[in-house]
Amino acid sequence: MIRVVALFAALAAVYGVAHDQVTARVSLEYFTIAHARIVRSDSPALVGLAWGLLAGAPAGAIAGAMVGLAAGERALSKLGWRHFLPSALTLGAVMAVAAVLAGAGGHFLTARGDVQMLAEFAPLVPRDRHARFMAVVYAHLASFGVGLAGTVAIAVRTQRCRYGISRSPG
């Protein structure tokens, strides 16, 4: 189970850092105004690294634990952590596509006036940066939502696989 948790945590940390390297450059305000300051820097590289690791690794560990528990010890001993690598990589790719599409949609809708900037942050973010801020909000929500749904799907598929393994001889 530890290896599955470590796999998901490591991949989520890599995804989180990559995701936040991009989104910190789109709207640094999302991290410096809408979140607690965890680094004393306005460098998008440092802020993206810190938040990517801080948010990614724990979320991935939770996802790995869900999948590992769904598999059960007997199935994990037969499948191994490598069995989950393709699913985890596919999930990361789907999350990235969803983040790009949602971010673009959030930017477009805010720039067009169909979506308003979050009220508590509107006075703190320059007006010409509202659409960028909302693009990052939408991108993060998409990543989180797709990540959760994908983790549940992997866990369910793993549970089904578990019962297939338990019925096999040996």
CA 24 to chain centre: 15
How far is 11 from 18, CA to CA, in rounded Å? 11
Work out how many domains the chain is built from and give that number. Answer: 1
The pLDDT of residue 62 = 95
Angle, CA of 96, 102 and 108, to the nearest 5°: 135
The pLDDT of residue 76 = 66
Query: Splitting the chain (170 residues) into consecutive groups of 10 residues, what average pLDDT does each group show?
Result: 91 97 98 93 96 96 91 72 89 98 98 94 96 98 97 89 56
The pLDDT of residue 68 = 87
Q: Containing domain of residue 143, as a range?
A: 2-167
Per-residue DSSP letters for 109-147? HHHHTSSPPPTTTGGGS-GGGHHHHHHHHHHHHHHHHHH
Tokens representing 51? 């938040």
How far is 170 from 152, CA to CA, in rounded Å? 28
Tokens representing 151? 């983790």
pTM of the model: 0.89
The pLDDT of residue 61 = 96
How far is 43 from 113, CA to CA, in rounded Å? 30
